[in-house]
Structure 1
Amino acid sequence: MPYVTTNDGVALYYKSWGAGRPVILIHGWPLDADSWDAQAMALATAGFRAIAYDRRGFGRSDQPWDGYGYDSLADDLAAVMAHAGVESDITLVGFSMGGGEVARYMSRHQGRGVVKAALISSVVPYMLKTDDNPKGVPQENFDEIMKGVRSDRAHFFQQTFFPQFFGAGLISRPVSDELLAMCTGIALLAGLKPTLACAESFSQTDFRNDLNAFDVPTLIIHGTADKIVPIDAAGRAAANGITSSRLIEYDDEPHGLLATASNRLTKDLLAFLAT
């Protein structure tokens, strides 16, 4: 399996499918690169090179104690790009927490090599509700996530978090029980420290100052029924702050668009790449 070693000695797993213009897919919390498989296959089949990697602490990557702030995570993204040999004509696509790596790479690394970006159900620009961010998520919501992870994360992920992630309820069943179980299994591959540290990072990091670094065409896709990352706090706010952006709202869709709206998402990504 291909691995890249970061500047601080962390081994990150990545996979590269297909050949052509590179599209780097950055996964959400608490999943791994495999969550992008449907889109990666479609991209590779369409003539692109799809590159997806496991964030440090997750999946098949190392689980160091440190390095879960977005500056380090953006440097990890740069290391994957360098190891994969992609230097130009790059599209970055970040899902959920992964949108933060896109934003911080654009500012910290001056968007080197990037010609397009996409934010899918992304946490950008700022998740936390504050006096100057009134549409954000209250701190007590994040406290509940931390409590659930600390007390019994297997139960929390399978019975609480992922049903909300995919909009599953007593009546609405957009994904199977088996998929919920699979996602829980993937989440449990991550270490407890990185799981908690990354939750703190995506909930507390303010990317509003990073938005000006988006000087490339940017596609923003967000579900209007997203209960994990509300569209008003994220997708709509990002669209207002990124000059060269286009927002597509998926009516009544939850957070987990990679599964619940997989075909539509793939079609919209391919159309964006073709322009």
Structure 2
Amino acid sequence: MPFITVGAENSAPIDIYYEDHGSGQSVVLIHGFPFSTASWEKQVAALLPAGYRTIAYDRRGFGNSSQPASGYDYDTFAADLDTILTELDLRDVVLVGHSMGTGEITRYLGSYGSGRISRAVLLSPIPPYLLKTPDNPQGVERSLFDGFMQAIRDDRFAYLTSFCDSFFNYRQNRGRLVSEEAYRAHWNVGAQASAIGTLACVEAWLTDFRDDVSRIDVPVLIVQGDDDQVLPYPVTGQRLQPMLPGSRLVTLKGAPHSIPWTNADDVNREILAFVTAPAPAMARR
């Protein structure tokens, strides 16, 4: 399996697993919590025949990547992404992230700039800022995230079931947009993730991305379901779009958080239309 080393912990390297398929313009896919490159099978199946090179990687702590005890913050996640782009010498890249993966994209563009990047797609985004604070009254109370962290400490596997229920809006969508088998496959991937990383990522969700958002100077597509039970639509995608002049928000009516799987046809259609359209003249500023 291919790996890129992004650091070390004591005597062991920290290796990031990636998959690199096809040829053409590069599309880098960054998965959501707490899953892996496996989340992107429906997007890879659409992008490859359309003539794109698809590169998907497992975030540190997840999938087949190393599971260190530290580095579960967006500065480190963005540095890992930068190492991958640099090691593979990727240019004119389309970054596509889902959920937590949208944080990597936003922090990367805010910190490293867009020299290698042509466009960005944010699916069920986590920016601009989830936490409720005096200067962010639209956010979510800290106590909710403290409860998530305690639930992970008490029984990570029971928490994972609760998370997958919300991820798919499973009660409404079982047997319609998601099968029991697909639910179970996602659960199994999440169960193999680092226990330390699973817990630490909840704290990372509370990252303030507002400064990063203000630095983004490439065309951005935002796609989100308005029945997202993980990252509330009014706090995330709906609020983010006006902060990104020239960006486009596609709202999937009644769709859950898990749109790369449950609403793959819609997501793929929007991605392919976006990457083939002429870039807006005002996108870079």
* TM above 0.5: yes
**How far apart are the structure 2 equivalents of 1:177 and 1:129?**
35
Deviations 1:252-273 (A, max 9, x none): 1111101110111011101111
The yes-or-no answer on 1:38 pairing with 2:46 is no
Question: Which residue of structure 2 lines up, in the alignment, with residue 267 of structure 1?
Answer: 269
Give the ranges of 4+ consecutive aligned residues of structure 1 lying more than 6 Å apart after TM superposition: none
Shift of 1:180: 1.6
Task: Kindly tell me the number of residue pairs found equivalent between the two proteins.
Answer: 271
Shift of 1:217: 0.6
Contact kept in structure 2, 1:224 and 1:251, CA below 8 Å = yes
**How far apart are the structure 1 equivalents of 2:167 and 2:138?**
19
**How far apart are the structure 2 equivalents of 1:60 and 1:47?**
27
Deviations 1:143-200 (A, max 9, x none): 2221221122222212x1111111111x542312222211111011111111111121
Shift of 1:128: 1.2
Question: Which residue of structure 1 lines up, in the alignment, with residue 191 of structure 2?
Answer: 188
Q: 1:58 aligns with which of 49, 54, 62?
A: 62
The yes-or-no answer on 1:106 pairing with 2:85 is no
| TM-score scaled by length of structure 1 | 0.95
Question: Which residue of structure 1 lines up, in the alignment, with residue 139 of structure 2?
Answer: 136
Contact kept in structure 1, 2:97 and 2:121, CA below 8 Å = yes
**How far apart are the structure 1 equivalents of 2:248 and 2:36?**
27
RMSD: 1.2
Equivalent runs, 1:1-275 vs 2, <5 Å: 1-8=1-8, 9-86=13-90, 88-158=91-161, 160-169=162-171, 171-173=172-174, 174-202=177-205, 204-275=206-277
Contact kept in structure 1, 2:93 and 2:118, CA below 8 Å = yes
**How far apart are the structure 2 equivalents of 1:228 and 1:129?**
16
What SS is found at the alignment partner of 2:136? coil
Shift of 1:131: 2.5
Shift of 1:215: 0.5
Contact kept in structure 1, 2:7 and 2:15, CA below 8 Å = no
Shift of 1:85: 2.8
| TM-score scaled by length of structure 2 | 0.92
**How far apart are the structure 2 equivalents of 1:249 and 1:199?**
25
**How far apart are the structure 2 equivalents of 1:61 and 1:11?**
6
Shift of 1:7: 4.0
Instruction: List gaps (5 residues or longer) in structure 1.
Output: none
Question: Which residue of structure 1 lines up, in the alignment, with residue 283 of structure 2?
Answer: none
